[in-house]
Amino acid sequence: MPRMPDHPCAHPGCPKLVSRGKKYCEAHAAQHPEEIRSAAVRGYGSKWQRARKRYLEAHPLCVECLKDGRYVKATDVDHIKAHRGDPVLFWDESNWQPLCHKHHSEKTRREDHDPVYRY
């Protein structure tokens, strides 16, 4: 059975081909650590799940939808300022906002276009 063809590295401007199951070539994989590490390793483990649940119970509506006069249930807790690995910013509840999945995905896509990580 023929195998799937290789595809270009997902790093902007990189023409190198990578095999199926990989997103970045060897040269660029280290520049995208958040896409390689699991959610639990990035801080989104059971402690986060409990904090998220508590926060959404206290703030049940999407703040972006409310701006448009719509009442939509929030499903995601968003970090207003991206924490990029900073644990203080990660756990600062004043940096959290409730969003519906649509608005959270749009915001994440905008912010993650060219990320910078600090560890």
- The model's pLDDT over 54-64, given as tens digits with 9 standing for 90+, comes to 999 999 999 99
User: Is the distance from CB of 31 to CB of 40 less than 8 angstroms?
Assistant: no
| Mean pLDDT for the chain overall | 88
> What pLDDT shows up at residue 83?
83
Residue-range domain boundaries for the chain: 1-36, 43-111
CA atoms within 13 A on the CB side of 87: 5
For residue 33, pLDDT over 60 is answered with yes
∠ at Cα 100 (112, 102), nearest 5°? 55
Stated pTM of the model: 0.68
pLDDT of residue 114: 61
Note the pLDDT tens digit of each residue in 68-82. 999 999 999 999 998
Cα separation, 41 vs 38, whole angstroms: 5
* pLDDT of 2 higher than 90: no
